[in-house]
Each structure stands twice: as C-alpha cells, then as structure tokens.
Chain A
Amino acid sequence: MNSPWLSLSQRVALYKTEAEMDLKTLWRTPGFILPCLAFPVLFYLLFGVVLSKGQHAEYLLVSYAAFGVMGPALFNFGANVATERAQGWLTLKQISPAPIGSWLFGKTLSCLLLALLIILLLFVCAGAIAGVRLYTSQWLSLALVLLLGTIPFCLLGLTLGLTLSAKSAPATINLIYLPLAFLGGLWLPLQLLPTALQQLALVLPSYHLGQLGYAVIGKDRGEPWWVNVAVLALYSLVLLWLAARRFQAQSHERR
C-alpha cells in the first residue's frame, strides 16, 4: 500500500488518473448528479423564495447550502464505496500497486466539485432571484466554509460505505442524512424545535457546519467559531480512525 517504488511524477500521474476516472464516473451517472444539484436548489426556491416571500432568503441560503453540500459527501462516498466494495473493485484497488490515497483523492475531488456546483447554483438563485446581497468577502468565505465543512461528511460517508452493504447503503444514508440536516437546524431554525432536540443539536456535525455558515452572515447562535471548528475536527479525526479500521478489516476479511 505504501508503494515505495513509485516516483513522484508517477504518483502525480496516478492521482490525476484516479481523479479523471472518478469524475468520468460521476459524469456518466446523471441520475445521481441531477438530484444532488436539484434538491437543495428546489428546496431553496420553494421555502426561501416563494413560501417565505424572500423574508429569510439570506438565512435559508446558508441552511440549504449546508444541507446541499452534505449530500454528495455522504452519497458519493457512502453509496459508491459500498457498491465498489460489492463489485470487488475495492479489493482490486487494495492489492494493486497504486497508492490507495489516489483513490480517495479522486473521490474527494469529485465530491468537492459537486459541492462547489451546488454552492454556485444556490448563490446564483440567491443573488439573482431572492435578492440576497452579501459582500464579496462573505460570498467567498461562505463558499470556503462550506467546502471545507464537507470533509467530516466525506469521512462519515466513507465509514458508512466501508460498513454497509451495497443494497442497504442508499436507504441507510438517507436515514442518516435527512435527520442530520433536520436536527442540525438546517431545515427549520433551531429555536422552533423542542428544547430536548435543541440540546441534541449541539453534538451533531450538521449543526456546527450550519453555525459556521450563519456566522458569515452574522446570524449564528453566538458560540465562538473555534468551538464549531473543534467539533467538526473531532468528528473528522474519529471518523478517519473508524474508516481506517474498517479499511484494515476489509483486507483481513479477504485473507
């Protein structure tokens, strides 16, 4: 797995190839991309623009953007990894001399690209239709926060993909994705939920991603930003460790 015999340029080439391949796979499955893009955009247009008459367009932009970027992270990693595992593709990757990092790199890149597309689409809707006005620095920081914020969800997706069977993965991930968004305060403002659920939100990564986003527009709940970052980082570390364990277990199972 360490592939010490590869030169740097060979490595770069491998990373590039993996990225290209994963993007191609993505491109060839519009059935996955289109809902990923359409869901947050339609939700935003419906709830943020039509139903609320644009009153909370700014707040809901952050909500649905955070909700949106979690989608590809969970599904592109979760469901796809589970499928590739079932097809034996992961086994092939594990025994092939190519560094496994390149495979992860390809997946992460396509996730980020999808997330970026969602963010850009939502920004266009917000700026052109919903009348949201933010400083360029705010638009940029919001995009950056959301992109970086996908990392713990990528790792959550990876852990799930390495755990679940190909058949159960999509349904299970939905069962995690939707409640995570709802309980994290991304569909309804948290203060509208019962107190017990508000307390629960504090331990969910979706809540902390949302808060970092709301902080950009000055509508967060007032925790210091580093608390949100620390929780997301902690989630990332724990999930990375879990994913690594699952990954090791995969190789052992085959022996």
Chain B
Amino acid sequence: MKLSKNSWLGLAGIAILSTFFLLLPEPQPVQNSFVLGPVRVFDGKQQLPEPQYIEVRHGLIHSISAQRPDPDAVVIDSRNPDGSPQWLMPGLIDAHVHSWGNAQQQQLSFGVTSAIDLFSAAAQLPQLKSSRDNIHQAQQSDLWSAGTLVTAPKGHGTEYGMQIPVLHSPEEAEAFVAARKAEGSDVIKIVYQSERAIYKSMPSISRESLQAVISAAHRQQLKAVVHIAEQASALDAVEAGADGLVHSFFDSRISDALLQALKSRDVFVIPTMTVYEAAVRGMTARQVLLDNTALDLPMAARAALGTSRNPRIPAALYQNLIENTRAMHQAGVRLLAGTDAPNAGTYHGLSMLLELTLLQEAGLSFFEALSCATAIPAQAFALPQRGQIAVGYRADFLLLPALNQPADLLSARIYKNGQLVTLSRNPPQRPAVKAGALADFSRSDKPLQGAAFAASSDQMMQGKSSASLTLQPQQSPASLRVDGKLVPGLAYPWAGVAWSAAADYQQGLDFSAISTLQFQVRGSIGTYRLLAFSEGNQRPAELTFDVTADWRAVQIPLSQLTGIDASRLSMLVWSASPTPQAQDFVLELAEVSLLSNSEQ
C-alpha cells in the first residue's frame, strides 16, 4: 500500500505529538502500595486480637489479615528492635480547629490526618473538597469546614475583623443555611448563649432562631453543631435538636436532665478541655510536653503552649470541666477529641495529645480516648473512609513503636494516603532582621525592615479606642506621632502604633540574633506598654515603659519577651496602658533600632 504525502505528514505529526506528551515530566512515582506487618492493630474502635498484615493499594487499605497476603509483595517490616510487632492506629481526627495558613501541614506533621474546621474564611471551602478528594497527596491533613458560623449581630465570631453575614431573625434561617451550603459548608456551626446565662459575654441569637437554624440545617441535609459556654445554653441547644455541642462547660456540674437529654437524643460533645484547661489551670501542657526535655518541640509550639493562664477564672472551676466530661462518658454520651487550636494555649496537632491526656483524666481508658480521636469523630461527622483501620478506608495511619500513653504518638511514623509523611515539624524559617535602624522617620514612615508602621487600636475588635499617626520628618529627632484615645471596655484594650513584619500579619521575621529593642519616646506622661506578637500566637508578650514630656531612650531586652517565639516575630505595638477612664494621649516615637548580641 502506498501512502500519500499527506498521510505521511499526518502520521509524522501524530508521532511527534505522542513523543512530546511522553517526554513531558511526570511526578516522582509515589510509593502508596505495599504490605505492612506484622502489626498490632487498634482499628479506631478496638484492639484486634492478633498481629495483622495490612495491604495498601494506591493509598487505600486493600486487605487486613493475620497471614501475609502475597508472598511477592514488598513488605515493610514493622517490628521493634526486640522483635515485637509495632502498633498501627488510624490517623488522628481533631474535631474542633480553626485552620488557615500552614495549619493543615502542621496538623499532619503531628499525626492529625483529618480535622473539622468550625469557622474560618468561606473562600477556602471549594478548595478543601478537591484537595481531600486527592488521594495522591501526603502534604496536609484533610479538612472539612463549617465555613462561616451562624451568629447574631455583634455576636461571638464578629470580633475578629472579618466581615461575616449575621442572623437577625428566625425567618432568615432557611436562606442563611442555604447560603452556607452554597458556599460549601460541610456542617452548620451556630453560636448560642441562653437568656438564662449569668455571665453574658456578647449578643446571641434567640432560642427561636437557634431552633429555626437547626431545623433548616436538617431539612437541607446538614448537621448542626452549637457553640455553648455554659450549662443553660447546652440544655437549650440539645432541646432544639443540635447534633453536637462543640464545647463543654465548667460553670456548674452537669445536671441529670442534661445528661438524659444528651443520651436520649444521641448528641455528641466535643469538650475541648485543652483550651479550657490552658486558661483555667495551665498545667497539662507543662506536664505532658514542655517539661519533658527528651522531646524536641518547635520553639513556636513552646511559645504557644507555654502561657495562657487567665488569672481571672478561678482554678477550682477546672474540676467541673473534668467531672462533667467524666459524667458524660459514664452516661455513654459520645465524646469527640477537639482542641480549638490555634486559640491561646493550643498548638495544631500537639494539642491533641493534651486532649487525650485530659480525656484519660476524666476516666476514659487510653484506647477509649483514642476512639474519641479516630472512629467516633469520623462517624459523628460522617467523614467517608476516615478514622478506622478497615478495608476500603484511606491508608491514613500511625505506625508506633509503643502505644501506652499520649506522648507515644510523637514517635509515630505518619502515613497519609498510603505515603510516608516527611513534613518537618518545625515551621519554615523566616528571614532574619538585621541589627540597626528599623525606620528612618526623617524620610518616611515605611520601615527599613518589615512591612509598615500603622495606627492600631482595638477598633478592629469592636473596641472604642482610636489612634492616628503623623510623620514628623522635620523635627529633631524625626519622629512618628500618635494621637490616640484609650477607652476601657474590652478585656485587652489598646491604642497606639504598630510595626508589622509582613502585610498579611501571618508571617514574621526572625529576631533571634537581636538582643535589644531600643527607641526614643516622649509624650503624655504615664506608663505605656510594648506588645510583641509572634506568628499564630494571639496572646502577646507584654512589657511596660515610662514616658515623660522629654525625650528619653528606652531599651527593651528581647529576652524579657517571654511566651512568644522570637524567631517569628510578626508585630510590635507601642500602646497606652488601660486606665479606669477613657484617656486621650500623645506619644512620639523616634530612632527605633535593633541591637544585636555582639553589640552589647
């Protein structure tokens, strides 16, 4: 057969195209098919009777058997040096987080392979779904999210400077839930405080609205979970038909009526004891993690877990928290381990170990506590193929030399989608600042290092303080002048000038090589505060300095800024100190500079 010139051309074209596509670079082949064994298995619900071989194919658990399934398969030996089989358990599920930035990487690096986000920006929702469908990744935890929460105007959730829609009346409930569903919310989270609550923190939606939102969520095939902080609100939420409570409470001991209601309506509870304990007692993190010198913890984690005790809450209330959890456990209420990270006193991933410790303190056995962090949350939130070692499930698991106590989880080899996780637990290094001037106010109020100087006040948290800045380049010394007003009202009122390391407040700069922060001040006479924030840590380190009508130099040794991570400092705020009455002030700041260790 003789081919025409055109046919030859066509064939050549096809050949060239095929070669082209074959030459395009492919990803490194992923190792997500293998056999693991023999391992002792905690499958999320119970311990299996004898050591098992787990066969993983393409990221999914293909078979579990006491016999080695395929003699030719690559078997990853999982025995300890002494010959005893290692442990295998499902990856952890944190049932209460707020996730942004590199939170999902951080979670996975500590063995949290899935998490439930209970309020963060709705914009990230569509992305979450496709990334958890991706069975080829081993870079981050899978996240399900409530997106925007349901709250009243000026209610809890509106204070973070993020514009969110609010619910005004029960009539809006159906449309409000539909809007959340359209944005991609996987669950509806409602913030509620009962009329009967004694200490009212912020405005709340009414009981009728609560009822309406829960019913609307159920009609639209979504689960509704409720944020509560006291017993009265918990009872209302359960009676209104909530599927779960995302916190416990410690204002009083749990009543039989509430226990009965939780049990008979099969409502689950995420006690988030970690975040409460940190504020009320502040001991568990120290005992389990910080005082254990053998553990290699990131500086950022030490900073976040170290300080957060709130002295205004009586420590005795802590006992209520533990006893309420104990009572719920004994009554057979489903408990889910959740941390509320990254709130004060918590750290993504690591805090799960603390929650497990606290669950044990409330009377659960270690394996019962592990169920609360694996199979039970997966079932409560209907997370497909997660939370168990079972055929057809994702190969998200932890391989451990021993499984006796929460701290053992730190030595796990972590598998996500059948791939060994190689993420670093240390967050990425930040660029270091250089010793020398931080700003030259004779030229500009834009800092020489970092992103910006800006007026800052608690207005962004709905406070009433205010501040404005004027650059005074002609004066000697050239300075930045703050005209401010500090109005008491919030727990932490502030007004002044802020230096930020990066435009998004989420990335810091490394100050480890700096020993001292030095600046000149004058202004309205009084005591002022320097607040220093590190990344992901909402509670600043705080130091005071005096201001007089004449210029004076202030030197602040950075070693005194305790409880924050100086290797990722994100913001410095020079602020007036709170006084009983609202107060106007003027503060002039000049010659801000950094001294290095060698210069001292």
Contact = CB atoms under 8 A, between A and B. Distances in A.
Contact of A140 (B21, B130, B134): B21
B24 A127 contact: yes
Given A134-B26, A214-B130, A222-B126, 8 more contacts: A120-B20, A123-B24, A127-B25, A133-B26, A218-B131, A219-B131, A221-B126, A222-B184
Interface of B is mostly: helix
B24 A221 contact: no
Interface string B1-45: 000001000000000000011101111100000000000000000
B76 interface: no
A221 B127 contact: yes
A133 B22 CA distance: 12
25 contacts: A120-B20, A123-B20, A123-B24, A133-B25, A133-B26, A133-B27, A134-B25, A134-B27, A135-B26, A135-B27, A136-B22, A136-B24, A136-B26, A140-B21, A191-B124, A191-B126, A215-B130, A218-B131, A219-B127, A220-B130, A221-B127, A222-B126, A222-B129, A222-B130, A222-B184
Nearest to B25: A127
A139 interface: yes
A16 B10 CA distance: 13
Of all A-B residue pairs in the complex, the 7 with the closest CB atoms, nearest first, are A221-B126, A191-B123, A222-B129, A133-B27, A218-B134, A127-B25, A139-B24
Interface in A10-34: 16
B514 to A, nearest CB: 27
Interface in B409-455: none
Interface in B124-182: 124, 126-127, 129-131, 133-134, 136
Contacts of B20: 120, 123
B27 to A, nearest CB: 4
Nearest to A20: B6
A16 B5 CA distance: 13
Nearest to A143: B21
B16 to A, nearest CB: 10
Contacts of A42: none
Interface string A194-230: 0000000000000000000011001111100000000
Residue from B28, B124, B130, B133 with most neighbouring chain A CB atoms (10 Å) = B130
Contacts of B134: 218
B21 A139 contact: yes
A218 B133 contact: yes
A132 interface: yes
A132 B25 contact: yes
Contacts of B21: 136, 139-140, 143
Contacts of A127: 24-25
Given A218-B133, A218-B134, A222-B184, A134 B127 contact: no
Nearest to A220: B130
A7 B591 CA distance: 90
A133 B28 CA distance: 8
B564 to A, nearest CB: 28
Contacts of B22: 136
B130 A221 contact: yes
B435 to A, nearest CB: 27
A155 to B, nearest CB: 26
Interface string A107-138: 00000000000001001000100001111100
